[in-house]
Amino acid sequence: MTRTRRDERGAASAFVLGMAITLLVVAGLVVDGGGALNARMTLADDVEAAAVAGAQATDELRLRADDVLVIDPAEARERAAAVLAGRGYEGIRIVVTDESVTVTARDRVPTLMLNLIGINEFDIEATATSEAEILQ
């Protein structure tokens, strides 16, 4: 009985290539995912600051006359928009009620490493609401 030897040349090369691709994808997730999380936190901080600035736009005349605290919608939108001006965010939405200001914004974060596998950017969004109140 004759035994034939299996040709295993190149098996290690295929394994090493597979592991290198896997490690590259994991490194891309760490680098680009971390960048996206950082950008998301920055966006959340910015919309929160815009909502607080908007909620500070109270109608002082009505407060003095009727002792009722309401937000001036035009001034609130202007203040919130001023905080976000020049930041390059997309889809900025400012909703003002008598008691609160809600700000939503979106952004896109380009990838550095994941674009090698076709993921070119991450879409991020943040929303914050702030209510007007009298501090005593």
**CA-to-CA distance for 126 and 103, rounded, in angstroms?**
8
Q: What is the pLDDT of residue 124?
A: 95
Domain assignment of residue 112, yes or no: yes
For residue 87, give its domain range. Answer: 5-131
Helices then strands, counting H and E runs in the chain, come out as 3, 3
Which is higher by pLDDT, 4 or 53? 53
- Backbone CA torsion sign across 63, 55, 71, 60: positive
pLDDT tens-digit series, residues 107-124: 999 998 888 888 899 999
User: Given pLDDT bands bounded at 50, 70 and 90, which one contains residue 14?
Assistant: confident
Domain assignment of residue 57, yes or no: yes
Instruction: Give the mean pLDDT of the chain.
Output: 88
pLDDT tens-digit series, residues 59-102: 777 777 777 788 999 999 999 999 999 898 989 999 999 899 99
Domain assignment of residue 106, yes or no: yes
Q: Virtual CA dihedral for 86, 87, 93, 94, nearest 10 degrees?
A: -70
pTM tops 0.75, yes or no: yes
Q: Give every CB contact of residue 129 below 8 A, 6+ residues apart in sequence.
A: 51, 100, 101, 102, 103
Domain assignment of residue 136, yes or no: no
Domains identified in the chain, total number = 1
**CA-to-CA distance for 117 and 132, rounded, in angstroms?**
47
Residue 131's alpha-carbon distances to 18, 98, 99, 116, in angstroms, are 53, 9, 6, 44
Domain assignment of residue 83, yes or no: yes
Instruction: Tell me if 119 sits within 8 A of 29, measured CB to CB.
Output: no
Q: What is the pLDDT of residue 4?
A: 66
The percentage of residues in the chain with a pLDDT greater than 70, rounded to a whole number, is 90
Domain assignment of residue 24, yes or no: yes
Q: What is the pLDDT of residue 3?
A: 67
Domain assignment of residue 42, yes or no: yes
Domain assignment of residue 18, yes or no: yes
